[in-house]
Amino acid sequence: KLQDIIIAIEKGDGRERLSKEKPGWPIRTLARIDIVDGKVEII
């Protein structure tokens, strides 16, 4: 049994498409971040 899946998707609709193709999978995603003026920004 799948417990957790962590995926890194650079660009596009990969997360949305994977959710539709595998609706039962417990998917988590990573976000690309940058530090701008001492604050974390998701890019």
| Residue-range definition of the domain harbouring residue 38 | 5-42
What pLDDT does 27 receive? Answer: 79
Spatial contact of 15 and 27, defined as CB atoms under 8 Å apart = yes
Provide the domain count of the chain: 1
Q: Give dist(CA 18, CA 41) in Å, integer.
A: 25
| Structure-derived torsion over alpha carbons of residues 5, 7, 12, 17, reported in degrees to the nearest 10 | -20
Query: What pLDDT digit, counting tens, does each position of 1-43 carry?
Result: 777 877 777 777 877 888 888 888 887 777 778 888 998 888 7
pTM beyond 0.95: the answer is no
